[in-house]
Amino acid sequence: MSVNPDHGWKEIVHSLSHYCHRRLNPGIRPHGEDHAVIERGMILKVIESGWLSGSLKSTPKIQPSSTQIKLMHSRSMLKAWDMKLKRAQTFRKKWERKVSYYENRISI
């Protein structure tokens, strides 16, 4: 099945209604009374759901400026270096304790 969206929502609903009619009523002619009932139901569903009012359109993503990108990068780098500093301080404390331990062992 192929649908050309350039022909609008009416073409989409019409093509889908043919597909549904074929699945529900095999062997019955395509533009019969049953097909019209299915298509009308689909049209009412489209209108009730508000799909024609643009509710399905996605909101456009706002691209940050180059200055905003640089600011975000600077903040992430600052955070990374803060973590490295904290880790270095932790290791420094660890090695200070080891030096103190061995100094005390030697002086005994």
Return phi, psi of residue 56, to 5°.
-90, -5
**Residue 86 pLDDT more than 70?**
yes
Q: Give the rounded percent of residues in the chain with a pLDDT score beyond 70.
A: 94
Q: Give the rounded percent of residues in the chain with a pLDDT score beyond 90.
A: 45
Residue type, position 54, single letter: G
> What pLDDT was estimated at residue 1?
62
- Length of the chain as a residue count: 108
Ranges of each domain in the chain: 5-53, 63-108
Using alpha carbons only, what angle is made at residue 58 by residues 54 and 62, rounded to the nearest 5 degrees? 130
**Interval 11-22 mean pLDDT:** 87
Residue with tokens 């600052």: 78
pTM above 0.85, yes or no: no
Helices (H) and strands (E) in the chain — how many of each?
A: 3, 0
> What pLDDT was estimated at residue 33?
82
